[in-house]
Structure 1
């Protein structure tokens, strides 16, 4: 016989093999089994057995009684009367009716039993009521499993058939027990039970120790009572949600509303945040201790609503105070709390962005307090210090959250490009950054270790990221790189390559293409000089080699180097002319059809001063080619007038006078009358008593006026390049679109060139007009433009 039944798996029924009869409150079943088809006789027999299970479960049922009870159910359901005599529909209805009677009698018994349980519960309150409820629940559900096992034949046949036919309110016997408990007992006591549960939870929230297992058992029973009315084999959480979760959530809201209101009135905002964070952690732990996981979302939302959202204005008001005092730990706590509510962080991000911007502007204002007399390093360091400080704050307090990173970037972009130093020129920041980079990459840089220099270059790129006028940086950087390469003054090729790689990564190949070609030219020039020395050895005799200058030539491609031809006529010294002509002869033999333009303003050399008295080792003067041309005149003359020097060198006064001024300042030359500045009518002689601390004396110093002129020329070049860039972008867009609205064209141009510089709308319009004049585009009706093929 198959003994399985619907509902929970039947537990092992406690059976007694002893014949000894134990004393019970219920009358044990008679020794004779009931009549098969007599419902009263059968139910009387079964009721006594059910009483024995329900009231004295712990004492068990002997095997003979168990088999008699099981057989009574089986025999009644299969009796002749139940089956009927005529078969067909009549037989089916007979089985249906007798099964229903037995089922209904069991239901009535359970209702009566639960009525007595309810009466007993009335004598208990609070924790005693919880203990009583749990004990009765455990006894009742355990007995239900045994009784379900006894009635499994009814489950398997009559109950199954009724359910299959779509009958409502028909359940397997175990589920019937749960339904009766819910309807006849649970609904009568659930308010008192929940009140006791909520009192226990409140005690725990107040710091008292409670019996958590009681609440866990109550929760489990509430969950078990959730039955699917359409499918008795399934369960729902409706009972739990209605009778436990809802009152629990409501009580939680009231408790924390009262507590938070009082706590805020008596404590600081920081202490409140600690309290709120602690309470949120407690409630999260409470779910794992004795609540059902289904409550997690609603409980969390309720606690956040009461503890955080309700007090969010107060928290946000404190944010600026915490920022001003650099309270990272408290800022992190505020971030963790407000990040958990909708739009909780938006006002903080705005305040943070303004705070960082103000900090950056203040740092720059401090650097520029003395006017323009400050080193680029001071300016860049001020920018980096502000960024570094708040970058650390974002990572530590705001978990590196992308929106706070965006706020930081917005603030840095603002104070890097628009500050007190940039008022005179919006391109001041990229120019100063380029100058600082130049100072790092020149020989004599304070960065002693390669790793230290690499770190500084990385920091340079941090500021570069925020620079809007990246074309300005490119122009200044390329000019300074050109000088470092020409004068062989780079701290190392590796450092130069590293910087170019960083720029390429940030802005692409096109941005650094010319810079890389400059490096290639230097390498080609090294090979060319080696070939020239070999060639020279073959054609010169010993006397010529003894007299010749030791030269080094650099051949620089016109299209890649940001260098201009000399701005003045110049007659080089004879010694240099011979060497230059010899190299030209060598070069043109190798490369016919090329043209060489000598950049005298960038040439330099060393001269030995053999004329100076009272010195054991002759001084070596490091001079520009112009200075060399001036000093070599004194091999033939003891004294020279200003006009004579100018006539011999052909240098313009604006070039000659500053170079003469450097020689006078160093006291290599002496003016007559004494103290006179270079000018017509003044004569100059060599200082035979020249003294200096160093044997090598650098006279090739940059003149401030030259530096200013270079900067002005660079800015003019930038403006011209921008015009060409805008016009090429306009033509490129119009060529692909053919026709386009004026407004749309302007927006498209802005999108295309903003990576290089932020274009101004009036400038775009001017260049559109310029292209119209050149017949690249024409204006149509309705503010439309068309490309002219």
Structure 2
């Protein structure tokens, strides 16, 4: 082809204009630009710009910006693009969207080639103009897009958006088979978002303002209508499945058709319409799903609501309330049979105080069963979400510490759950419990599970330590290793300080074993060796570590035990100076050989308390005593004598006259030993279930808990005030509650009482009505 003269703009433009039409595309698109035409057009533009520059045709404008050669041909190109876009027309057989996408695709491809034709002008003249501050000059590709935006997009934007939204609606209804229309039309909103101040900076202003806002409004209207209509004719389970599919479809649509930034607002909009707006319906159905153990549907509900985090909190509260009510109901409906016999009717309402070991075990197992059930639900249905784990913990803490057994109506003391858990542990750790298969379905994990939730951990420690102490001194513990394992786990769950007294108890037991060995050697050299018991265990216990206190009443030790008693006191005083032994007579146990069986049968072995031994040994001297005589012999308070007599009468070792149980403590009541004792067992235990001891132990434990809390609160207050020097009342109370929550739930009234006590003892003083100061 013959190229135009380089200096002639008119001839140059007339030469390249037909090729420009072919590059951008004609209406019929019958022929495109050939390689020769394309290269000739590029050469003509290049020759024009270079030739004019060499001829010195540059000039300075009134703004002092240097204009390199290109302004005239740039103006011609700009007019050409405007006229080209304006003359584009829609075919009769196509929609505007089809026309728009068809011409847009061809136009943008052509604009890229057009940009290459004017490459020299872009690199020199356009670049120089923009560096001089001309923001109305653009590279050819950008100029083409801006021309399209001004003359095609802006004029027809509303029609375009309406047809795009209609196509999206058809797509949602599975009635649209031309995804290319959506892909290219939506992408045009992004491409046309050009920042004329900074062409390299991404700008989604047009995409957001012209398309996304209307698209989101259209989306929420569509799904509001569809979800409401669907729920009218379908159940919630079907609706949740439908919602899952809809959210998956919209996620896929966002990935395939929309800009990345639309993904989040789109899903938020869809989830608000499908989930948040219908959350109340799901909450109502939630409890029914729990009752029917429909874990897969609960999980579906959870996964849906997880997409709207604000909807999970009410669901977790519903879950917490359900667990709590379920736990309380299970406890209220516990099947309790006092004597553990199948032939007796079952009691549905639990007693205020659980009397038997089996009842206490059943209570703890009921708590564990509820927890285990809902742990499984949290795992299967809620994927161990921390929000629902916390809800489970809160609910368990609620019904475990406060229920019809732990705090019966009218009961104002500490929750009984710690006491029953300690008894449960005692059953687990005792030898005879294993032998009788009582603890076959019990485990250490059960103990730690409930321990985690009890708020009055100090109460558990007191009850547990008392039962541990009895296991140690009576030798009924299953094994030292198992005992230490429990203590180690309690320590990990709480603190070293929590188990320090228990650890010291084991040290005392070892020291007592050494003392018994020394006593055996000491007795060998005694002239009255035969009068001293050879099978005798004694434990010397640190008074501050063990949950026992010395027997406070007078007691006359049986003469048969006096030589042993004297020998032990003598040995201990020789080994230690300045120490005082305090005897705990009410905890002493022993075995008596009783020759009261049929002729030819071996004697019975009777396990008794020391007080019972003191009673029954007197019947070696005569067959009958009155109650007054026994009280005079033992020097014990009457309630101790009657309390220890009761098992002897109940199991028919002694006959009472008159036999009325209510007259056991009357002065003239007589007790006669049987001549021949009848029992299928040759070993009989009379030492258990002595009510006076049980009552006294419970009172002592309750008192110990109260005193321990009082001292803990005072120590806590002093520690805080010593560090802070001065503190307001509310802040002090809050900090004390925070520090004491690992041991027990401190009451504000108890904290106030402790503060007043410390003021009286001059640890603190009031600065004003609301502030305290530490007194050094």
TM-score, normalised with respect to structure 1: 0.84
Quote how far apart the aligned CAs of 1:172 are.
Answer: 1.7
Given that residues 350 and 404 in structure 2 are in contact (C-alpha distance below 8 angstroms), is that contact kept between their aligned partners in structure 1?
no
* Superimposed CA distance per residue, residues 226-262 of structure 1 (whole angstroms, 9 cap, x where no aligned partner): 3221233444233333444334323322322221232
Quote how far apart the aligned CAs of 1:84 are.
Answer: 4.2
Given that residues 627 and 660 in structure 1 are in contact (C-alpha distance below 8 angstroms), is that contact kept between their aligned partners in structure 2?
yes
Counterpart among 11, 19, 39 of residue 49 in structure 1? 19
**Alignment match, 1:18:** none
The within-5 A match list for 1:495-510 is: 495-510=482-497
CA distance in 2, matches of 1:507, 1:540: 50
**Alignment match, 1:563:** 548
Given that residues 124 and 132 in structure 1 are in contact (C-alpha distance below 8 angstroms), is that contact kept between their aligned partners in structure 2?
no
**Alignment match, 1:161:** 128
Q: Would the alpha carbon gap of residues 251 and 481 (structure 1) be closer, same or farther in structure 2, given more than 3 Å must change? A: same
Given that residues 620 and 697 in structure 1 are in contact (C-alpha distance below 8 angstroms), is that contact kept between their aligned partners in structure 2?
yes
* Superimposed CA distance per residue, residues 253-279 of structure 1 (whole angstroms, 9 cap, x where no aligned partner): 232222123223333344333322321
Given that residues 434 and 440 in structure 2 are in contact (C-alpha distance below 8 angstroms), is that contact kept between their aligned partners in structure 1?
no
Quote how far apart the aligned CAs of 1:157 are.
Answer: 1.7
CA distance in 2, matches of 1:481, 1:562: 10
Of 291-300 and 172-181, the range deviating more from structure 2: 172-181
**Alignment match, 1:71:** 43
Given that residues 549 and 575 in structure 1 are in contact (C-alpha distance below 8 angstroms), is that contact kept between their aligned partners in structure 2?
no
**Alignment match, 1:467:** 454
CA distance in 2, matches of 1:615, 1:258: 96
Q: SS of the counterpart of 1:109?
A: helix
**Alignment match, 2:265:** 298
The answer as to 2:70 corresponding to 1:99 is: yes
* Superimposed CA distance per residue, residues 67-117 of structure 1 (whole angstroms, 9 cap, x where no aligned partner): 43332212211225x544587749x9999485222122223333333344x
Quote how far apart the aligned CAs of 1:769 are.
Answer: 4.0
Counterpart among 341, 346, 362 of residue 378 in structure 1? 362
Quote how far apart the aligned CAs of 1:496 are.
Answer: 2.1
Quote how far apart the aligned CAs of 1:561 are.
Answer: 0.9
* Superimposed CA distance per residue, residues 574-612 of structure 1 (whole angstroms, 9 cap, x where no aligned partner): 443323333334333433332223322222222333453
The answer as to 2:7 corresponding to 1:37 is: yes
Q: Would the alpha carbon gap of residues 665 and 87 (structure 1) be closer, same or farther in structure 2, given more than 3 Å must change? A: closer
Counterpart among 226, 231, 240 of residue 198 in structure 2? 231
Counterpart among 401, 412, 429 of residue 396 in structure 2? 412
Counterpart among 514, 529, 533 of residue 527 in structure 1? 514
Given that residues 77 and 95 in structure 1 are in contact (C-alpha distance below 8 angstroms), is that contact kept between their aligned partners in structure 2?
no
**Alignment match, 1:358:** 325
Quote how far apart the aligned CAs of 1:37 are.
Answer: 0.9
Q: Would the alpha carbon gap of residues 705 and 528 (structure 1) be closer, same or farther in structure 2, given more than 3 Å must change? A: closer
Quote how far apart the aligned CAs of 1:557 are.
Answer: 1.0
Quote how far apart the aligned CAs of 1:521 are.
Answer: 0.9
Quote how far apart the aligned CAs of 1:783 are.
Answer: 5.2
Q: SS of the counterpart of 2:431?
A: coil
Q: Would the alpha carbon gap of residues 728 and 644 (structure 1) be closer, same or farther in structure 2, given more than 3 Å must change? A: same
CA distance in 1, matches of 2:192, 2:648: 104
**Alignment match, 2:114:** 147
CA distance in 1, matches of 2:437, 2:15: 101
Greater C-alpha Rg = 1
Q: SS of the counterpart of 1:608?
A: strand
The answer as to 2:415 corresponding to 1:434 is: no
Quote how far apart the aligned CAs of 1:205 are.
Answer: 1.5
Quote how far apart the aligned CAs of 1:439 are.
Answer: 2.6
CA distance in 2, matches of 1:448, 1:606: 21
CA distance in 2, matches of 1:449, 1:278: 54
Unaligned runs of 5+ in 1: 1-30
The within-5 A match list for 1:471-620 is: 471-534=458-521, 536=523, 539=525, 544=529, 548-620=533-605
Q: Would the alpha carbon gap of residues 614 and 286 (structure 1) be closer, same or farther in structure 2, given more than 3 Å must change? A: farther
Given that residues 612 and 690 in structure 1 are in contact (C-alpha distance below 8 angstroms), is that contact kept between their aligned partners in structure 2?
yes
> How many residues get paired?
751
Counterpart among 112, 119, 123 of residue 92 in structure 2? 123
CA distance in 2, matches of 1:50, 1:41: 15
Quote how far apart the aligned CAs of 1:514 are.
Answer: 1.2
Unaligned runs of 5+ in 2: 335-348
**Alignment match, 2:346:** none
Quote how far apart the aligned CAs of 1:478 are.
Answer: 1.8
Of 414-423 and 252-261, the range deviating more from structure 2: 414-423
Q: Would the alpha carbon gap of residues 758 and 194 (structure 1) be closer, same or farther in structure 2, given more than 3 Å must change? A: closer
